[in-house]
C-alpha cells in the first residue's frame, strides 16, 4: 500500500520521469522503500489513471521518449491523508535470523561466510549514509523539512550501526562454536 505514496512524495519533491524516479529511489527514498523500474512505471500508469498525477506536456510523447510527471492536487491530498492516518507496523521478516534458527537444528555450515558478507554490506551502507549526513546536514540544519530528513537518515545510520555490532558479535560467537553443531 505504500509504493504509490513513495512515488507521490518523490514527485512532490521534484517532478520526474520514470527513469529519474528509479535513479532517485536508488539513492534516497529507496533506502527504506525500494522499487524496481518496472514497479515504478506500472505505478505511474495507475496514478495517472486515477488522476493523482499527470504527464507534463511534451512535444513528442512516444515510446523511448522521456516523459515527466507532476503531482495534481488530488494526489497531494491523497498523500496527506495517507500520511496522517495511523498504520500498524508490518510483521517482521528477517531471513538471516531465520537461518540462524534453522542452523541450530541442521548445522551452521555456510552461515559464517554469509554473516561476513552481510557485515560488509552494512558497513558500506553506513559509510554511504555518513557521507550524506556530512554533505547535507553538516551544521545548523534548521528548517522543519531538513530536520525530518535528518531524522530519517539518523534511523538509517543507527540501524546500520546496530547490525554491524550484532553481526560482529555473532561472528565472535561462531568462532567459539564447535565446528559442526547440527
Partner DNA sequence: GGCCGTTGTGCAACTAGTTGCACAATCGGT
Partner DNA sequence: ACCGATTGTGCAACTAGTTGCACAACGGCC
Cell numbers for 153, please give them: 537518515
Q: Which does 151 bind (CB under 5 to 8 A by kind): DNA, its own copies, none?
A: its own copies
Site for its own copies in 35-54 (CB under 8 A): none
Asked if 159 touches its own copies (CB under 8 A), the answer is yes
Strand 16-17 versus strand 53-55 pairing type: unpaired
Residue 70 is given by DSSP the state E
Binder to DNA among 27, 32, 50, 66 (CB under 7 A)? 66
Cell numbers for 159, please give them: 540501524
Binder to DNA among 11, 47, 67, 71 (CB under 7 A)? 67
**Residue 119 three-state SS:** helix
Q: Is 176 exposed, middle or buried (0-12, 13-18, 19+ CB in 10 A)?
A: exposed
Asked if 24 touches its own copies (CB under 8 A), the answer is no
**Residue 27 three-state SS:** coil
Q: Which does 103 bind (CB under 5 to 8 A by kind): its own copies, DNA, none?
A: its own copies
- Contact string (CB under 7 A) for DNA, positions 7-46, x = contact: ----------xxxx-------------xxxxxx-xx-xx-
Asked if 117 touches its own copies (CB under 8 A), the answer is yes
CB of 9 to DNA, least distance (A): 14
Binder to its own copies among 103, 126, 132, 164 (CB under 8 A)? 103
Stretch touching its own copies by CB under 8 A, among 31-39, 41-49, 60-68, 129-137:
31-39
Per-residue CA distances from 25 to 6, 45, 90, 162 (Å) = 9, 17, 21, 24
**Residue 68 three-state SS:** strand
Amino acid at each position: 500500500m505504500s509504493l504509490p505514496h513513495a512515488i507521490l512524495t518523490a514527485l512532490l519533491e521534484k517532478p520526474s520521469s520514470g527513469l529519474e524516479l528509479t535513479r532517485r529511489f536508488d539513492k534516497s527514498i529507496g533506502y527504506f522503500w525500494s522499487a524496481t523500474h518496472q514497479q515504478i512505471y506500472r505505478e505511474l500508469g495507475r496514478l495517472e489513471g486515477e488522476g493523482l498525477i499527470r504527464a507534463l506536456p511534451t512535444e513528442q510523447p512516444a515510446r523511448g521518449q522521456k516523459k515527466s510527471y507532476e503531482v495534481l492536487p488530488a494526489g497531494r491530498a491523497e498523500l496527506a491523508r495517507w500520511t496522517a492516518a495511523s498504520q500498524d507496523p508490518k510483521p517482521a521478516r528477517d531471513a538471516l535470523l531465520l537461518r540462524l534458527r534453522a542452523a541450530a537444528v541442521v548445522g551452521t555450515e555456510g552461515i559464517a561466510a554469509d554473516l561476513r558478507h552481510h557485515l560488509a554490506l552494512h558497513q558500506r551502507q553506513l559509510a554511504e549514509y555518513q557521507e550524506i549526513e556530512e554533505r547535507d546536514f553538516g551544521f545548523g540544519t534548521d528548517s522543519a523539512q531538513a530536520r525530518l530528513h535528518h531524522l530519517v537518515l539518523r534511523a538509517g545510520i543507527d540501524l546500520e550501526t546496530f547490525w554491524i555490532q550484532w553481526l560482529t558479535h555473532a561472528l565472535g560467537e561462531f568462532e567459539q562454536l564447535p565446528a559442526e553443531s547440527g
